[in-house]
Amino acid sequence: MKIQGKEETIIAIATPPGVGAISVIRLSGPQSFEAVDTVFSGKIKIKDAKSHTIHYGNLTQGVAIVDDVLVSVFRAPNSYTAEDCVEISSHGSPLIIQQIISLIIENTDVRQAEPGEFTKRAFLNGKIDLTQAEAVADLISSRTLVSLRGARNQLDGLLSSKVLSLRTKLIEVSAFVELELDFAEEDIKFVNRTELVDKINYILSEIEALLESFSFGKIVREGINVALVGEPNVGKSSILNYLLKESRAIVSSTPGTTRDIIREEISIDGFLFRLHDTAGIRSSEEEVEKEGVERSKELIKKADLLAFIGDVHIGFSDQLYDELHKLNPSVKILKVLNKTDLGVDRQYSENFRISAKTGDGIPQFLNGLKMEVIQEGIYSERTAIVSNVRHYDCLTKAKENLTRALEALSENISGEFLASDLRASEISLAEIIGEVTPEEILFNIFSKFCIGK
C-alpha cells in the first residue's frame, strides 16, 4: 500500500507545456531522490548528493537514453515545499517530458501531482502562509506591472504581517477580558473600560482601512471593467478597433461573432483596463438581439466605469444617461464625444473629445481612464492592500464581530458575550493567513492553480 497524504512523493512538469529550450520537471516528497536514482545515471547517486547541488547525467530506460539532463537537489526543509525536492532540467520537448514522467511513475510509488499541490505542501509545511500561497497564483497570472507588484507585496508578507499584528493585539485584548471572566465572582476589573474600548476601536479602524483598500486592490488584481455604451453607430466598435490597431499596450482582445472585437484588454501605465463593447440596451423582440441586450445590461451593472459614447451629430441622450444611471447607480459615467474629425463644431457636456478615425484625443481619453483609478487609490508601492475576495469576506466578519463587541461594552452586557465576539473576530483574522482554515476552502484555493505549481 502506498503511504497516504503528504508523505506521498509527487511529480509534475513545472514549465509550460510545449517546445522550448529546456523544461523542468519537479518532484517533492520523501522518495524524490530514490525515485530519480531509478532512472538516472551520473557521477554520483542523487540520494547521496548535497542540498543545492546540480548533477549532470542520463535518464535511461533500459539501455536507451531518454535524455541527458541536469538534476537539482533540494533537501528538506530548504526547498519550496519544505520536503525533499528535485528539479530535472531536460530538453524542452513534450515527448521527452512525457517519457520521463511516465518512466518515474511506472517504476516507483511517485504519483502525478494535483493542481497547486506543491504550493499547498509549502503552506501545510509552514513555508508560507495562505495569503502568500494565494499570491503565488496571482503572481504568475499577473498581466500588468501594477498587479505584479501587488502580488509581490502579498508574497513578501505585507498583508500577512499586517493581519498578524492586528490578530496579536486582539488576542491581548481577549486575554484581559477572559481573565476578568475567570475572576467574575470577585468582580475584579483588570483593564478599565475606556482603555478596552480604545484598543478595540484602534483594531477596528485598521481593519476598516484594509477593507477600504479593497476596491483599489481588486482593480490592481483584476483590472478595471469599462463598458462602452451609446446609441448605435456612434463608433463604439470603431474605438475598440482603433485601439487594437494602434495601441502598443494591448494585453489581449476577444473577437465577437462579427469582425468586431467585443473586448479589448489594454495596460495603461501598468493598470489593466478591460474595455467591453456593448450592443445596446434598448428592448428588442428578436431573440439574438434580446440576448445582446441582456448581456449589455449585465456588463453595465458590473462595470467599474462607464464610457458613454456619443457622436458630434447626436451627442448624449438624457434618456440613455438616466437608464445607465439606473442600471448602475454608483458608477462614474464619462461622456466621450466621437467623430470630432467631421468638423461639426458643436459642444455637448462631454468629458473627452475623440476621433476613432484619426485617433485624435484617444491618448487623453485613456489617460482620463487612468486618472479615475488613481484618484480611487490610496496607492503606494509598499502598502498592504486587500485584493482578494476571500480576505475581504474574512475582514468583514472580523469587523462585524468587533462592532458587536463594542456594543456589548457600551451596554454593559455580560463579559461572556464580549469574549465570544472578540474570539470570533480573531478567528476570522486567523482564517486569512490560514491558521484555522477549513479543508474545503483550502481545496478551493489550490484547485485553481496549474499543475506543477
Ligand X SMILES: Nc1nc2c(ncn2[C@@H]2O[C@H](COP(=O)(O)OP(=O)(O)O)[C@@H](O)[C@H]2O)c(=O)[nH]1
- Of 77-116, binders to ligand X (CB under 6 A) are none
Provide the minimum distance between the beta carbon of 340 and ligand X in the complex, in angstroms, as a whole number: 7
Crossing angle (nearest 10°) for helices 439-447 and 117-124 = 140
Nearer to ligand X by C-beta: 173 or 354? 354
Nearer to ligand X by C-beta: 230 or 434? 230
Residues 6+ apart with CB under 8 A from 250: 243, 244, 264, 265, 266
Q: For residues 166 and 211, what is the distance between their CA atoms, to the nearest angstrom?
A: 14
**CB-count exposure of residue 412 (10 Å: 0-12, 13-18, 19+):** exposed
Total number of residues binding Mg ion (CB under 5 A)?
1
- Of 305-344, binders to ligand X (CB under 6 A) are 338-339, 341-342
DSSP element (H, E) containing 32: helix 32-37
- Of 12-41, binders to Mg ion (CB under 5 A) are none
Q: What is the DSSP letter of 388?
A: -
The binder of 147, among Mg ion, ligand X, none, by C-beta within 5 to 8 A per type, is none
Contact 49, 73 (CB under 8 A): yes
Provide the minimum distance between the beta carbon of 325 and Mg ion in the complex, in angstroms, as a whole number: 22
Provide the minimum distance between the beta carbon of 263 and Mg ion in the complex, in angstroms, as a whole number: 13
- Of 394-433, binders to ligand X (CB under 6 A) are none
Phi, psi dihedral angles at 322 (to 5 degrees): -65, -40
Nearer to ligand X by C-beta: 55 or 236? 236
3-state secondary structure of 20: strand
Nearer to ligand X by C-beta: 308 or 379? 308
Which range, of 53-61, 94-102, 217-225, 351-359, touches ligand X by CB under 6 A?
351-359
Total number of residues binding ligand X (CB under 6 A)?
15
The binder of 121, among Mg ion, ligand X, none, by C-beta within 5 to 8 A per type, is none
Nearer to Mg ion by C-beta: 147 or 237? 237
Provide the minimum distance between the beta carbon of 225 and ligand X in the complex, in angstroms, as a whole number: 18
Provide the minimum distance between the beta carbon of 342 and ligand X in the complex, in angstroms, as a whole number: 5
Phi, psi dihedral angles at 283 (to 5 degrees): -65, 145
Nearer to Mg ion by C-beta: 157 or 235? 235
Q: Does the protein bind Mg ion through residue 241 (CB under 5 A)? A: no
Binding mask 357-396 for ligand X (x = CB under 6 A): x---------------------------------------
Q: For residues 88 and 403, what is the distance between their CA atoms, to the nearest angstrom?
A: 53
Q: Does the protein bind Mg ion through residue 237 (CB under 5 A)? A: yes
Residue nearest to ligand X (CB): 235
Provide the minimum distance between the beta carbon of 316 and Mg ion in the complex, in angstroms, as a whole number: 17
Contact 10, 118 (CB under 8 A): yes
Contact 225, 297 (CB under 8 A): no
Q: For residues 401 and 415, what is the distance between their CA atoms, to the nearest angstrom?
A: 14
- Of 161-190, binders to ligand X (CB under 6 A) are none
DSSP 152-176: HHHHTTHHHHHHHHHHHHHHHHHHH
The binder of 238, among Mg ion, ligand X, none, by C-beta within 5 to 8 A per type, is ligand X
Q: Does the protein bind ligand X through residue 296 (CB under 6 A)? A: no
Supply 328's cell numbers.
448602475
- Of 226-285, binders to ligand X (CB under 6 A) are 230, 232-238
The binder of 119, among ligand X, Mg ion, none, by C-beta within 5 to 8 A per type, is none
Residues 6+ apart with CB under 8 A from 341: 355, 357, 358, 360
Nearer to ligand X by C-beta: 24 or 261? 261
- Helices in 307-414 by DSSP H: which ranges? 318-327, 362-376, 389-410
Nearer to ligand X by C-beta: 80 or 352? 352
Provide the minimum distance between the beta carbon of 338 and ligand X in the complex, in angstroms, as a whole number: 5
DSSP element (H, E) containing 204: helix 193-222
DSSP element (H, E) containing 212: helix 193-222
Residue with cell 535511461: 60
HEC profile of 346-372: CCCCCCEECCCCCCCCHHHHHHHHHHH
Which range, of 229-237, 239-247, 250-258, 319-327, touches Mg ion by CB under 5 A?
229-237
Supply 315's cell numbers.
451627442
Q: Which spans of this chain sit near ligand X (rule: CB under 6 A)? A: 230, 232-238, 338-339, 341-342, 355-357
Q: Which spans of this chain sit near Mg ion (rule: CB under 5 A)? A: 237
